[in-house]
Amino acid sequence: ADRDLSPCALTYGDIAAKERLLHSPQWLRKEFFPRLKRLNDAWHEHNIKCLFHSDGYIMDVIPDLIETGIDGLNPIETVAGMDLREVKRLYGDRLFIAGGIDVSQLLSNGTPEEVEEVCREAIRIGYPGYFIGSTTELDNGARLENVLKMLEVAWNTKFK
């Protein structure tokens, strides 16, 4: 692993849908999390942080994910009921957070002014330890002016 190329590896396995986990917590604890831990341990041997990605509502298993050794969580899918403020409050001392800016409604149908407001609030809530980003992949449904506004807010935010 070449840490100079990237200090972070993206590990993922979408384990949830909009309202709930795709598998029971018991199954995840028996089958998925042990394997994820082995992957994270291998990355950590090379001093590389692990960012875990799963769409959907995963609040019920974030403590389990932390036990696997994840360092960060993505994408905080707000339309699935994930709440950036709550994730930060409960786990912000143990995880960095990436995402939280809704693609399906805000970036696709919102105004640049709405995007700016949501982005500023997300940065205020998430800082420090927050990387602004979309809740899922940016696709052609996201309005360009809204994506550019998100990037502008991120670029121009000053931290104290």
The boundaries of the domain holding residue 116 are 8-156
Q: pTM for the whole thing? A: 0.91
Q: Determine the 3-state secondary structure of 50 from DSSP.
A: strand
The pLDDT assigned to 19 comes to: 86
The verdict on residue 1 lying in a domain is no
Q: Specify if 43 maps to a domain.
A: yes
Residue 138 lies in a domain: yes
- Domain harbouring 115, CATH code: 3.20.20.210
> CA-CA distance, 29 to 36, in Å (whole number)?
10
118 in any annotated domain: yes
Residues 32-82 pLDDT 10s = 999 999 999 999 999 999 999 999 999 999 999 999 999 999 999 999 999
- Tell me the average pLDDT across 80-98: 97
Residue 3 located in a structural domain: no
Nearest to 9 by CA among 41, 45, 38, 52: 52
What average pLDDT score do residues 87-107 get? 97
pLDDT surpassing 70 at residue 159: yes
Peptide bond connecting 7 to the previous residue in cis, omega within 30 degrees of 0: no
Dist. CA 137–CA 158, nearest whole Å: 26
In a domain? residue 66: yes
Domain count, the chain: 1
pLDDT of amino acid 13: 85
| Residue 127: inside a domain | yes
